[in-house]
Structure 1
Amino acid sequence: MKSLEKNAIYLGASLFLSKTPSKDFKFLEEKLETKLMGWRSRCLSWAGRSTLITSVAQAIPNYTMSTFNIPAKNCDKIDSLTRIFWWTPKEKEGRFIAWKAWDKLCCPKYEGDLGFKQTKDVNNVLLVKLAWLVAPSRDSLCMDSLRAKYKVKHDWLQKEPQRLLRLLGEL
């Protein structure tokens, strides 16, 4: 029987976390920064930047966010990189004037804002979706292996919230 190395990677994400998870997810920040560096050389309109942010920049970490609880430090850095690109597309870092708070820009479009997403909120939503897929009512080989890995019992939905939150944190 073969065993996996500790630094095994699947679909860009590490399969095993170290004692410092913020270092494990640093690759998401680096991948986003690489994309932004290519976009900085172009003259983009507000609409162009908005489209790139919503369709590419905020989609880069989706797979990893749907399988791991990413530390808030990494999520904040990803949001920071996106925010800097929104307000000063030619600058990599430094000071800038934010004409509107990032929280407001992350409000839905039907409220008149841009509909950007905060990374930690998306991460939490995707983890809850994964937890719902692991629910005992769904039978498949994949779900059976996830239930076995995370020791999910049939009564997991009736557990007290602290246990459920801890279970989501382990996913």
Structure 2
Amino acid sequence: MQDSRYNKYLGLPSIIGKSKAQVFAEVKDRVAKKLAGWKGKLLSIGGKEILIKAVAQAVPTYTMSCNQLPKTLCQDLESMMRSFWWGQKDKENKIAWVSWRKMCRSKLHGGMGFKNIQAFNLAMLAKQGWRILTNPDSLVARVFKAKYFPFDDVLNSKKGSNPSYAWRNIHNSLEVIRRGTRWRVGNGRRIHIWDDRWLPTPSTRKVISPQADYGHFPMVSSLIDNDTR
């Protein structure tokens, strides 16, 4: 039996059980209440856009910065915003003339600039991974490193067996960092020649590993003359 006084810490659930949808149902309820209060009002397209971006999509941001929301919950949130955008009142269904995926494109590419909830969730969690990567002396970085990647950096870490919920969330977002970052060479001691993205070529930014075994100089530092640089 759990003490209800400690169900939350800093506004977030302190215990995450098997039913993630039930744990984060409050996020859905808060967004639903916001949208329900606006449906009866005569709002312009611009007004709806501002309310969705500044309020409805901002409500789950704090939760998404620490937790990965279930896929079904993200879909439900987007469904409510989509219905509100196309003018739903009460529970009737209106035709969505453009897919929500296209609506999430930037305005420069023909969309409305709405957030893809799942992608935004991973981006928020990737910030936690970025902090671990760039601030390895912080307490949280040292704790995670000791448990999950004691001999490597966070980008090359494994999820491990029976990982904590916090680490599983961060690990799921690391691909966002891998795709969007490139090494600044420096002395090259931490950069793998074949595995890391370090070249200035925008097409790949990565060396295509040959079939031959070049394991005797795996790091970029082995390509740099220490005297002449």
**TM bracket, shorter-chain basis:** 0.7 to 0.9
| Stretches of structure 1 lacking an aligned partner (at least 5 in a row) | none
Deviation of 1:22 (Å)? 1.0
The answer to whether the 8 A contact 1:66-1:127 is kept is: yes
Q: What is the CA distance between 1:141 and its match in structure 2?
A: 4.0
Deviates more, 1:4-13 or 1:75-84: 4-13
Bigger proportion of residues as helix: 1
**Whole-angstrom distance in 2 between the partners of 1:157 and 1:112:** 34
Query: Which residue of structure 2 aligns with residue 54 of structure 1?
Result: 53
Deviations 1:97-138 (A, max 9, x none): 111111111101221321001111111111112112122644
- Structure 2 residues not aligned, in runs of 5+: 171-229
Q: Is the 8 A contact 2:68 2:122 kept in 1?
A: yes
Q: Is 1:127 aligned to residue 125 of structure 2?
A: yes
Larger radius of gyration: 2
Partner of 1:9: 8
Q: Give the structure-1-normalised TM-score.
A: 0.82
Closer/same/farther in 2, CA of residues 51 and 170 from structure 1, 3 Å limit: closer
Deviation at 1:168, TM superposition (A): 5.3
Deviation string 1:125-155 (CA, Å, 9 cap, x unpaired) is 111121121226443345445x379645351
Residue among 137, 153, 160 paired with 2:150: 153
Instruction: Give distance in 2, aligned partners of 1:101 and 1:58.
Output: 18
CA RMSD, Structure 1 to Structure 2 (Å): 2.7
Q: Mark the CA change 1:113 to 1:150 in structure 2 (over 3 Å): closer, same or farther.
A: farther
- Aligned to 2:37, the other structure's residue is in SS state helix
Residue of structure 1 in register with 2:31 after alignment: 32
| Partner SS, residue 65 of structure 2 | helix
| Cα distance change on mapping 1:93 and 1:47 into 2, 3 Å | same
Residue 5 of structure 1 and its aligned partner are, at CA, apart by: 4.4
Q: Percent identity?
A: 31
Separation in structure 1 between the aligned mates of residue 34 and residue 24 of structure 2, nearest angstrom = 16
Q: Deviations over 1:16-75 (max 9, x none)?
A: 111111111111110001111211232100000001001111111011111011110111
Map of 1:115 onto structure 2: 113
Q: Secondary structure at the match of 1:43?
A: coil
SS at 1:117 equivalent = coil
Distance 1:73 1:42, change over 3 A: same
Structure 2 residue 74 is the aligned partner of structure 1 residue 80: no
